[in-house]
Amino acid sequence: MKTRELQRLLNRFTRHELKHITPLRVDGQRGPATCKRVQMIKYYLGFQKKRRTGKQACTIDKEFLSRVRHPDNPKSFNSREAYKRSVKRRRWQRAHAKPPKAKVASRYGIGTFDGKPVANAAIPYLQWARQHGWHGRLVSGWRSRAYSQHLCYAMCGRPQCPGRCAGMATNHVYSQPDRFAIDVSDYGTFGRLMQRYPGRKIRNSLGSRDPVHFSPSGT
């Protein structure tokens, strides 16, 4: 399958089956963002951990394509148990991937950018970058501890994935000026612009392990 076709298929799945997931850029590049999205969607399609690690994490096979095209058809799954896992995981995501209530957002300094909750302290960086040539989007800003842990299960099948997913310990669950985190698309441009930002810098210290991630500490 051509990469652009795959990216459109993944975007269709997240648009119809999940909530508050930023669509992939349809650019024909099967890079870290596309591979990470494949890995995440495998979780929501009921695949077990052994199908989501190592080189297999980004593998596209007939079974994956069958499930992603027809996620609500039990006949697309190789077992009834896999279908039930898929339904249960998608329902949990839709129920918990909600922005915080207005009172909570106001109390803890959480705003929105690109329609997603994010620490108010992060918004000036995003606005400045967009004004200076960044054409990406905010992929993830602030999120609850429960949802952050859920994302690690989607990525590696554990509450934490050392070097890849911090779970409840992630900086995404904070919203202080010196402690917050954002994930962005077009992260190369964003990173170059952050080196020029006229104020306290945010950066990425994780490199290829998580190139989309930026925070005051870099982790």
| Per-residue pLDDT reduced to its tens digit, 119-140 | 999 999 999 999 999 999 999 9
Q: Give the rounded percent of residues in the chain with a pLDDT score beyond 90.
A: 69
Q: Are residues 79 and 159 in the same domain?
A: no
User: HSE on the CB side for 166, CA within 13 Å?
Assistant: 16
Q: List Cα–Cα distances, 14 to 92, 104, 201, 211, in angstroms.
A: 14, 27, 32, 21
Q: Quick one: pLDDT at residue 50? A: 56
Task: Note the pLDDT of residue 79.
Answer: 95
Is 48 inside any structural domain? Answer: yes
Residue ranges of alpha helices (H) inside the chain are: 3-17, 32-44, 62-69, 80-96, 102-108, 123-131, 145-156, 187-194
Give me the pLDDT at residue 91, please.
94
pTM assigned to the model: 0.74
How many structural domains is the chain composed of? Answer: 2
Range of the domain at 88: 3-96
Q: Considering the domain boundaries, does residue 81 fall inside one?
A: yes
- Domain's final residue, options 77, 96, 115: 96
Task: Read off the pLDDT of each residue in 90-106 and give the average, rounded to a whole number.
Answer: 90
Q: Is the pLDDT of residue 177 over 90?
A: yes
Supply the pLDDT for residue 208: 83
10-39 pLDDT, tens digit per residue, is 999 999 999 888 899 899 988 888 988 998
Residues 10 and 87 in one domain: yes
Q: 64-96, pLDDT tens digit by residue?
A: 999 999 999 999 999 999 999 999 999 999 988
Residue 6 pLDDT > 50: yes
- Under the phi-then-psi rule, with left for phi > 0, alpha for psi from -120 to 50, and beta for the rest, what region is 115? left
Give the residue with greater pLDDT, 80 vs 210: 80
Residue 66: Cβ within 10 Å count: 16
Above 70 in pLDDT, residue 179? yes
* Count of beta carbons in the 10 Å neighbourhood of residue 49: 12
Tokens representing residue 161 in the block: 């994935």
My answer on whether 155 and 204 are in the same domain is yes
In this structure, the strands spanning 110-113 and 213-214 are unpaired
What tens digit of pLDDT does each residue of 45-63 get?
999 865 444 455 678 999 9
Is the residue at 219 inside a domain?
A: no
- Cα torsion 67, 115, 135, 131 to 10°: value is -170
